[in-house]
Amino acid sequence: MTTVRNDWQREEVTAIYNLPLLDLVYKAATIHREFQKADEVKVNTLISVKTGACPEDCAYCAQSSRYNTGIKPSILERDEILRLANEAKKNGASRVCLSASWKHVKDDSTLEKIISTGREIKEMGLNICCTLGSVNKDQVERLREAGFTAFNHNLDTSEEHYHNIITTRTYQDRLDTLNTLIDGGMSYCSGGILGIGESDEDRISMLHTLATMRKHPFSLPLNTLLPIKGTPLENMKNVEVFEMVRMIATARILMPETIICLAAGRTAMTEEGQAMCFMAGSNSIFLGEKLLTAPNPEVNEDMNLLKKLGLKSV
């Protein structure tokens, strides 16, 4: 019987990460079957309530106002958000994540709009979560009371590599926000991106940080970079699918109860590659034409793949 641990030593994480790939996948798939329903994949949709004009300088992101990426800043109104949520529900999504490209959540009418629209989405029978930048205790309380069940706040990479990717905030700022969420009784969702110039050590370090938080993430999204023209990382090379499989499998072994989401970058993967990610312990995907600003496989392709693999969308 596997126990859920928060006291992983860095050397243990390194040893797991470096297992021969098929042994690693076998071990992860076994733990996956112990803790998760292995025939289910959670299907989410991301709705970008505020896109672009972000003051942060994340080197991979099309939405930063510092890079010329051709993204037109936009804000969605309530009706449009509800229309998209309804469409997502019809397409099989069970969870909607509302995102806004902010540094901090401000206590203004936009937050009020997100909260009230979130309530309406919940009334449609969907789970609701959000990603809004950093957040304080009172705002966590307000979001929780409105029925938001999780808040996304990615670590992106290791503490050591962080300053090469983002200079407008620190790793400690991110950890502080995660702790605010834990203290406020809000589940958090936090993961990272592969292909942003990080080493294996950086990947191990990020997983070690998450696996030793006093509470593991409710969900851990793993993304691969889709290089975006105009950003500092526009010329980065694609990540091999086996690197993603290794990362998913290691995360599954370290955090058996966490949902592991195969997030941005899925478009660049073959069906066989995605199947191997599910085998390694990933049990969540994003639906829809767009994942923030990166293209996402068409909804039908997603559903057909799940069907072929005998997986249920939940």
Residues that bind ligand SF4 (CB under 6 A): 54, 56, 58, 61, 63-64, 101
In contact, 255 and 34? CB cutoff 8 Å: no
Q: At what angle do helices 10-17 and 21-35 cross, to 10 degrees?
A: 110
Residue 233: count other Cβ atoms within 10 Å of its Cβ: 19
Looking at the Cβ atoms of 181 and 253, the one nearer to ligand SF4 is 181
Taking the CA atoms of residue 51, residue 162, residue 195 and residue 293 in that order, the dihedral angle to the nearest 10 degrees is 0
C-alpha to C-alpha distances, 215 to 51, 95, 291, nearest whole angstrom: 30, 22, 27
Euclidean distance between CA atoms 280 and 203, whole angstroms:
17
Smallest distance from the beta carbon of 109 to ligand SF4, in angstroms?
20
Helix, strand, or coil (residue 286): strand
Looking at the Cβ atoms of 54 and 96, the one nearer to ligand SF4 is 54
Looking at the Cβ atoms of 64 and 205, the one nearer to ligand SF4 is 64
Closest CA to 249 of 204, 182, 216: 204
Euclidean distance between CA atoms 219 and 255, whole angstroms:
10
Smallest distance from the beta carbon of 172 to ligand SF4, in angstroms?
16
Looking at the Cβ atoms of 10 and 104, the one nearer to ligand SF4 is 104
Smallest distance from the beta carbon of 51 to ligand SF4, in angstroms?
8
In contact, 42 and 95? CB cutoff 8 Å: yes
Looking at the Cβ atoms of 176 and 240, the one nearer to ligand SF4 is 176
Euclidean distance between CA atoms 1 and 224, whole angstroms:
32
Smallest distance from the beta carbon of 142 to ligand SF4, in angstroms?
21
Looking at the Cβ atoms of 32 and 50, the one nearer to ligand SF4 is 50
Smallest distance from the beta carbon of 157 to ligand SF4, in angstroms?
12
Looking at the Cβ atoms of 63 and 274, the one nearer to ligand SF4 is 63
Euclidean distance between CA atoms 51 and 218, whole angstroms:
25
Closest CA to 186 of 250, 239, 128: 128
Smallest distance from the beta carbon of 81 to ligand SF4, in angstroms?
18
Smallest distance from the beta carbon of 27 to ligand SF4, in angstroms?
32
Looking at the Cβ atoms of 54 and 260, the one nearer to ligand SF4 is 54
Closest CA to 81 of 109, 51, 118: 118
The full DSSP string for 136-186 is -HHHHHHHHHTT--EEE---BS-HHHHHHH--SS-HHHHHHHHHHHHHTT-
Smallest distance from the beta carbon of 141 to ligand SF4, in angstroms?
23
Task: Please give the single-letter amino acid code of residue 250.
Answer: T
Smallest distance from the beta carbon of 131 to ligand SF4, in angstroms?
8
Looking at the Cβ atoms of 223 and 250, the one nearer to ligand SF4 is 223
